Amino acid sequence: MAMENRILIVDDEEDLTWSITKSLKRENRALDVISVNSGHEAMEILQNEKIDLLVTDLRMPGINGHDLIKYIQEKKLGIKIIVMTAFGTQEIENQMLLSEQFYFIEKPFEMGSLKQKIFKILNPAPKKVMNNVEKKIRVLLKTAKPNHDLRVTLVNGNKKGQIYISERQIYQAELGCLNGKNALDEMLRWKHCVLEVESFEDRRFVAK
């Protein structure tokens, strides 16, 4: 693993950040691991240092994980993110369905599972070629107006599914009795489909 990979671990539980850091360094001494116990400390590091991967809790006093993620997105830093949380897991997981930047692990977790996820992110497999359906969806995500919600109906012969987009992110997908990631994965296997897009300026899908 290359020396330039720098990991920032953020959680207000000092025992947890210590355990993660110790376990990672034991696994690979070449890793550059920084651990802090507040969002404020993490924000200062993000503003002044190059980070490749952020591993963060969401609920923390003061500056929290949501604030850190928002800063990374707004500044377009390109930092990969692993969210560690025991709260709001289904909503968070749905929001990351088609993202190449976000990953998710639910507390409590096995240390081995977290390490496996970290090493996989830092040493990714070659990217697969996107099919026609995935290309169409990614174009929608890039071109959607930030203040609009989209309901996208995908039609493939006698099969019909729906994807819901808010703030340029997929937060839910439905296909027959499937929903969430299972529904999205199934639709992404389609080689072709017709898209029917409805746009709503009143942001009706996600309660604010």
Q: CA-CA distance, 110 to 117, in Å (whole number)?
A: 11
As a residue count, the chain comes to 208
**What's the confidence (pLDDT) of residue 125?**
62
pLDDT above 90: residue 44: yes
**What's the confidence (pLDDT) of residue 174?**
94
Lowest mean pLDDT among 1-5, 49-53, 58-62, 105-109: 1-5
Q: CA-CA distance, 109 to 6, in Å (whole number)?
A: 22
List, in sequence order, every residue forming a beta bridge with 182; answer none if it has no partner.
Answer: none
Residues 6 or more apart whose CB falls under 8 angstroms from that of 146 comprise: 167, 168
Mean pLDDT of 68-86: 89
Mean of the per-residue pLDDT values for the chain?
84
Which CATH number is correct for 6-122, 3.40.630.30, 3.40.50.1450, 3.40.50.2300, 3.30.1330.10?
3.40.50.2300
Determine what percent of the chain is predicted with pLDDT higher than 70.
84
Q: CA-CA distance, 196 to 160, in Å (whole number)?
A: 10
The dihedrals phi and psi of 89, each to the nearest 5 degrees, come to -65, -45
Phi-psi region at 35: left, alpha or beta (left = phi > 0; alpha = psi -120 to 50): beta
What token pair was written down for 147?
Answer: 């203040």
The dihedrals phi and psi of 119, each to the nearest 5 degrees, come to -65, -35
Mean pLDDT of 98-121: 84
Mean pLDDT of 146-168: 89
- pLDDT of 87-100, one tens digit each? 655 556 665 655 66
Instruction: With residue 91 as reference, give the H or E element that holds it.
Output: helix 89-95
**What's the confidence (pLDDT) of residue 173?**
92
The dihedrals phi and psi of 182, each to the nearest 5 degrees, come to -60, -40
- pLDDT of 131-142, one tens digit each? 788 888 888 888
Other C-beta atoms lying within 10 Å of the C-beta of residue 109: 12
Residue 154 one-letter amino acid: L
**What's the confidence (pLDDT) of residue 17?**
95
Spell out the domain ranges in the chain.
Answer: 6-122, 132-200
- pLDDT of 184-195, one tens digit each? 989 988 988 899
